Amino acid sequence: SRGERVPVPPLFQLRDFLLVYNRMTELCFRHCVSNLNYRLLTGREETCLESCAGKLVHANHRLMRAYVALMPSLVQRRASDYEASAAQASQISATEGPAAAAT
């Protein structure tokens, strides 16, 4: 409908996407394009660029799948570490509290 709004990704996601895209473009261009004397790419350059970009996109997708799979365990570990450090800090302040009040 007319009133629907397309969700806009956060700015940091757009920045990260553009950084990856720019790196991929530069890497593939340097690897595949050897002659800048012509406006058009040669067939060989075009094939190389398609292959290079395809490999990098595929590798990026694999990395993202691995990251998404690992993320819950990383978040759980951080939460456990935070809870442990908070409990330790609470215990230390509880034991130091009466001694500090007596001085």
Residue 38: half-sphere exposure toward Cβ, Cα within 13 Å: 8
What is 11-85's CATH topology?
A: Helix Hairpins (1.10.287)
Q: Provide CB contacts within 8 A for 57, sequence distance 6+.
A: 24
Per-domain boundaries in the chain: 11-85
Task: State which amino acid sits at residue 69.
Answer: A
For the stretch 8-35, what's the b/e string if a residue is b when 16 or more beta carbons lie within 10 angstroms of its beta carbon? eeeeeeeeeeeeeeeebeeebeeebeee
Q: What is the pLDDT along the chain (103 residues), one digit of tens a residue?
A: 566 776 666 777 788 888 988 999 999 999 999 889 889 999 999 999 999 999 999 998 898 898 888 888 888 898 899 898 888 888 888 787 655 555 5
Q: How far apart are CA 31 and CA 28, in angstroms?
A: 5
